[in-house]
Structure 1
Amino acid sequence: MKVEQIYTGCLAHAAYYLESKGEAAIFDPLREVGPYIERARKDKAEVKYVFETHFHADFVSGHLDLKAKTGAEIVFGPTAKPGYEATVAKDGEVFKVGDYKVKVIHTPGHTMESTTYLLIDEKGKEHGIITGDTLFIGDVGRPDLAQHVISDLTEEKLAALLFDSLRNKIMPLSDDLIIYPNHGAGSACGKMMSKETTDTLGHQKKVNYALRADMTKEEFIKELLTGLTAPPGYFPQNVLMNIKGYESLDTVMERGERPMTPEAFEAAANETDALMLDTRDAEDFAREHVPNSINIALDGSFAMWVGEMIPDVRQQILLITYPNKEEEAITRLSRVGYDHTIGFLDGGMEAWKLSGKEFETISRLTSNELEEEYKTSEPLIIDVRKKSEFDSEHVIGAINVPLNEINSQLAQFPKDKPFILHCGSGYRSMIAASILKQRGWNNFRDVSDGFNGILKTEIKKSEYICPTTLL
C-alpha cells in the first residue's frame, strides 16, 4: 500500500500521503501545503481528500489552503463542527482513494471529534491505522486539551471516553496493523511518546502502558492524568483557528516578507506593539543584538518555544534573522498560528551595526569556567530546564524555574545580586536571558554549553529534589 509519512522534526509532527490510481489523500497536513501538492504532482495524482483526525491544538493545519489550491474535499470525523465547508463523516463511513479505502472509526477521548482512519488496500486487506492523537507509539493523547475550549469537557470525562475508544474500537483490530500517529517524542500532546514514529498494534499492546489488557477504567484514568503538565498557552488559540478558519499562508507570507531599513525597523518597533524576535543562534545573539529583542533560535524547537513564550498568537512580530532566513522564520511561525509578522530587518544585525545604532550583549561563561568559580565561591545558579530534568539531576543548591514558567515567576530572579542561568545546552537559557534582559535584568551570566557541559565537570550534582528556594 502506498502510504508515506512526512515527518517534521521541529514540531514532532507526522502528516501522511496516500496515493492510488491517480488519486491522493493527505492526512493532518501542516500549514505550508506546497510539499504535499508537489508530492501528488510527481505521481500525476489529484488530491481528492484532506482527512483531519481532529481539531489540532499544537499546530494550524493546512486543510483550508489545500482545498483552495486543489479543490480537495476536507473530511472530519463525527461530531466535528467546522466553521467552513467540509464533510463531517459518519462512524464506519468509507471513502475511496483509487483502489484503496479509508474507513472512519470515531475514537473520542483526546477530543470529542477525534477519529482514526483505517487504511484498506486494493485487495481488501486492512493495512494500518492513522490514529491522530488517539494512539501514539508508547503513549496516548492527553485528554485535558478540549476543556480549555469547552469547559464542561473535563479531563476525567475525556479520559473515560478514550479508554472506551481504545478498548472497543482500536484494540480489537488486527495485531499486524501499522500504527501511523500524528506525533513522536517531543510533542506536548502526550507525556511519554517514543522516538519511534510507527509500530504494529500488536507490539504496542505489549509495551504501551495505556493498552494493558488487565487495566481497569479507573486505573487508566489515574495513570493517564498523573504527571500531566499544563499545556502551552497557544494550544486553545490554535484549536479555534482550526475550527473557525484562518488567512491563507500566501497572505501571511506577503505581509511578513517586508524588508525594513534599520531606521524603518526602529520606527516600527517604537510606533507599534510589535515584538522584536531574533531567530539567530544563541552565541550570536549574546555577542550582539538589537536592544529589547528576544531570542528564540530557528536552530531548535523554534515553533514550540514561540508558542510557549509569546502568549497571544495575534502578537505583531518584527523579525531579525540571518540573511535569507526570513521566509523560513515566517513559515515556521505560521505553523503555530503566529500570522502577524509585519516585517524584517533587511541585512540583519550587520546592517544594524553599519547604521551606527546601539546594540547590547549578554555575558556567557563555559561549564569549565563555572567549575573554577564553583570551587572558590557559591554562585547562585538558576536552572531553567523542565522540573522532570531538574529532579533527575541538578547542581546542588541550584534553583529551578522552568523556562515556560518564567513570565509568572519573575520574582524568583534577584536584581540585587548576581546569578548564573543554565539549561541543557544553552538554547533555552538564552531565551530566558533575552527575556530578563528585555525586562531590565543585567546582573546575570549564561552557561553556553549548559548542563550537558556541567556533567563533564567536577561540580557537585544531586539526584534528588533540592528544596532550596529564594527568599
Structure 2
Amino acid sequence: MRLEKIKTPGLAHLSYFLSADGEAAVIDPRRDIEVYLELARAEGAIITHVFETHRNEDLISGAPLVKHATGAEVWHGPNPEQPIRYATETHDGQVFEIGGAMLQVLETPGHTDDSLSFVLYDMNFDNGPIGVFTGDALFVGDVGRTDFYPERKTEVAGMLFDSLQKLVGLGDQCLIFPAHGAGSVCGSGMADREFSSIGHERINNPRLQIADRDTFINVKLNEHHYIPPYFEQMERCNMLGTEPAPPAPLPCSPALLLDPGERICLDVRGIFDFAGGHRRDALCIPDDMLAAFAGWLLPAERSILLIARDDGQALDAATTLHRIGFDRIDGYFSGVMPLAVNNGPLETLEFAHTKTIRSRLDNPPQGWTLLDVRAKDEYEGGHIEGARHAYVGQLSDTIPDIDPGNPVTVMCGSGARATIAASVLRRQGFTNVDVYIGSMKAWRSAGQSTT
C-alpha cells in the first residue's frame, strides 16, 4: 500500500493518491491532474476511484478531469442544494476496496452539508482503522469553519460538533489526513505541520478540548472568517464540473505592457520589486500571496497581463490563477522593467519606518490616515491607537470614506498586505500613499504600545 500526499502551494491544499495491488484512488484532486496520472504510471496502477470529501470553495476540483482521463468513478456526499453532476452520491457506511486497502464512508457534515470523511483500513490487520481523510472537518490543530450557511449557523456548528465525536471515536491510533494545511482560508488556527493522529488532536487541538456541545457552538458562532467573492464561482464550478486549464501563457512584448488596453496588469514580482518601479495602475499581488488575495481583488471578467521576475515565476503564477478559475491570462512580461528608458508610466512606492510613523502620530499631517489592513481578529488583538481598520480584501467598502487627495499610510503585520492594499488605493486614484514597512512587527520590536 502506498499513500502519497500532494500539496498545492499557496492554497495549502492537500490531496492524496492511494494505491494498493495495482488499483488506485485519488482524494480531493486539484485541477492540474497530471501529478496523479504520473503517480499511477509510476506505480503501474489503474485509478478506479476518485473521492471528494466536500464541495470545495477555494479551488477548482480536478475530479471530473480525472474521471475523463481514466474512467474512474467519482464519489461525493449528499448535497441538498444541487447534485454534483459528475459524481455518484455515497452515504454513511458504504465501503470501497482498492486492492488490499479499504475505505469506509463516514458522513461528517458541518463545514458543508455534503462533507464526508473516508476511513482507511488495511485489510491485512483487524485492529481498527489506520487513518482517515477528514476533508475540512478536522485539521491539524483546528476544525472546519461553519459560516457558509449564515441562516443555519447554530445548526451547522452543532452538526460539526457531532461529526467530530464520530472522528474521535475512530481511536487514538488513527492518523488524520486533512484537505488543507496552515495558511488555508478554510481555518485560522491550523498547526504548521501536516501530520497528526486522532490521539494527538484529542489532547492538543483547542476545539477538541471543548466537551460541551453548546459551548462548542458558541465558540464557533464567535469566530470571524472572510468569504472571498470568488468562492461563489468555485462552488458553481465544483457542482457543474470544469474544463482543463488553458495552456500556459506566452511572453509578450514591452509594447503590450506600455499599452495593455483593458487588461489588468498584475505584478507578482514581490513588494520590493514593486516599490522600486512598477507600471502605473498595476495591481501588486506577490506570487506567494496570489491564492489568498487574487479572488478578492481580480475582477473575473477582465483579462490579465502578468508582470514577473522571470519565466518560471510567471508560469507558476498562471498555474495558481488557473487553479482558482482565472483563465483569461493574455501573456506575461518578465525581466527588467522597460518603462523608464521609454519614458513610460513608471511609478515607485515609498516606504515609511517606525520613527516616521511615531512622528506622524505625535504631529499628524493634515488629513492623514493610518490604515491597518490586517484581518479583524488581528486588529482586535492589538493595534496602533488611532489606526483605522479595513481588511485588504474589502478596501472597496472603505475607500469612499477617505479623501483620495489626503495622505494615507498603509500597514499590516509586516508590510506585504499593506503593499497590496497600497496598489489598490493607487488604482482608485489615491495620490499620496506610502507603506509602513515592517508594520506591527516593527512597531512591537521598537517597544511601542498597542491598544
TM-fit CA distance, 1:234: 1.5
TM-fit CA distance, 1:246: 1.7
Alignment of 1:77-156 (within 5 A): 77-79=77-79, 82-125=83-126, 126-146=129-149, 154-156=152-154
1:295 equivalent in alignment to 2:287: no
Q: Aligned partner of 1:333: which letter?
A: L
Q: Report the Cα distance in structure 2 between the residues aligned to 1:206 and 1:384, rounded to whole angstroms.
A: 35
Q: Report the Cα distance in structure 1 between the residues aligned to 2:342 and 2:65, rounded to whole angstroms.
A: 40
Match in the other structure for 2:253? 261
Q: Is the 8 A contact 1:303 1:332 kept in 2?
A: yes
Percent of aligned pairs with the same amino acid: 33
Match in the other structure for 1:76? 76
Match in the other structure for 2:18? 18
Q: Aligned partner of 2:247: which letter?
A: M
Measured at CA, do residues 55 and 138 of structure 1 come closer, stay the same or move farther in structure 2, by a change above 3 Å?
same
Match in the other structure for 1:63? 63
TM-fit CA distance, 1:103: 0.9
Deviations 1:189-242 (A, max 9, x none): 1232222323221232233344347313x3222111212233222212211111
Match in the other structure for 1:468? none
Normalised to the residue count of structure 1, the TM-score between the two structures is: 0.87
Match in the other structure for 1:241? 237
Q: Is the 8 A contact 2:405 2:431 kept in 1?
A: no
Q: Aligned partner of 1:123: which letter?
A: N
Measured at CA, do residues 213 and 355 of structure 1 come closer, stay the same or move farther in structure 2, by a change above 3 Å?
closer
Match in the other structure for 1:203? 200
Alignment of 1:456-471 (within 5 A): 456-457=445-446, 460-462=448-450, 464=451
TM-fit CA distance, 1:416: 4.4
Aligned residue among 166, 172, 177 for 2:174: 177
Q: Report the Cα distance in structure 1 between the residues aligned to 2:66 and 2:355, rounded to whole angstroms.
A: 51
Q: Report the Cα distance in structure 2 between the residues aligned to 1:370 and 1:220, rounded to whole angstroms.
A: 41
TM-fit CA distance, 1:184: 2.2
Q: Is the 8 A contact 2:111 2:148 kept in 1?
A: yes
Deviations 1:352-405 (A, max 9, x none): 44554221222223345545x459734642222223222333333322222122
- Gaps of at least 5 residues in structure 1 are 465-471
Q: Aligned partner of 1:92: which letter?
A: G
Match in the other structure for 2:379? 390
TM-fit CA distance, 1:314: 4.2
SS at match of 1:435: helix
Q: Is the 8 A contact 1:320 1:349 kept in 2?
A: no
Q: Report the Cα distance in structure 2 between the residues aligned to 1:83 and 1:77, rounded to whole angstroms.
A: 9
Measured at CA, do residues 213 and 292 of structure 1 come closer, stay the same or move farther in structure 2, by a change above 3 Å?
closer
Q: Report the Cα distance in structure 2 between the residues aligned to 1:178 and 1:57, rounded to whole angstroms.
A: 25
Match in the other structure for 2:35? 35
SS at match of 1:4: strand
SS at match of 2:68: helix
1:222 equivalent in alignment to 2:218: yes
Q: Aligned partner of 1:139: which letter?
A: D
Q: C-alpha root-mean-square deviation of aligned residues, in Å?
A: 2.4
Aligned residue among 420, 424, 431 for 1:435: 424
Q: Report the Cα distance in structure 1 between the residues aligned to 2:162 and 2:382, rounded to whole angstroms.
A: 38
SS at match of 2:170: coil
Further displaced range: 318-327 or 407-416 = 407-416
Q: Is the 8 A contact 2:31 2:244 kept in 1?
A: no
1:329 equivalent in alignment to 2:321: no
Measured at CA, do residues 246 and 351 of structure 1 come closer, stay the same or move farther in structure 2, by a change above 3 Å?
farther
SS at match of 2:226: coil
Q: Report the Cα distance in structure 2 between the residues aligned to 1:394 and 1:11, rounded to whole angstroms.
A: 28
Deviations 1:403-422 (A, max 9, x none): 12211101354434323222
Q: Is the 8 A contact 2:175 2:197 kept in 1?
A: yes
Q: Aligned partner of 1:42: which letter?
A: A
SS at match of 2:445: coil
Q: Report the Cα distance in structure 2 between the residues aligned to 1:120 and 1:45, rounded to whole angstroms.
A: 19
Measured at CA, do residues 392 and 159 of structure 1 come closer, stay the same or move farther in structure 2, by a change above 3 Å?
closer
Q: Aligned partner of 1:432: which letter?
A: A
Q: Aligned pair count?
A: 444
1:366 equivalent in alignment to 2:366: no
Aligned residue among 343, 362, 383 for 2:331: 343
Match in the other structure for 1:467? none
TM-fit CA distance, 1:53: 0.3
Further displaced range: 67-76 or 277-286 = 67-76
Aligned residue among 289, 312, 317 for 2:304: 317
Deviations 1:291-349 (A, max 9, x none): 11110011x32211111223x4444222111220221111001122212222223x455
Q: Report the Cα distance in structure 2 between the residues aligned to 1:40 and 1:449, rounded to whole angstroms.
A: 46
Match in the other structure for 1:186? 183
Further displaced range: 258-267 or 327-336 = 258-267
Alignment of 1:398-413 (within 5 A): 398-413=387-402
Q: Aligned partner of 1:377: which letter?
A: N
Q: Aligned partner of 2:412: which letter?
A: C
TM-fit CA distance, 1:180: 1.1
Q: Report the Cα distance in structure 2 between the residues aligned to 1:354 and 1:98, rounded to whole angstroms.
A: 64
Q: Aligned partner of 1:360: which letter?
A: E
- Gaps of at least 5 residues in structure 2 are none
Further displaced range: 385-394 or 362-371 = 362-371
TM-fit CA distance, 1:104: 1.1
SS at match of 1:461: coil
Q: Aligned partner of 2:254: which letter?
A: P
Q: Report the Cα distance in structure 2 between the residues aligned to 1:132 and 1:146, rounded to whole angstroms.
A: 18
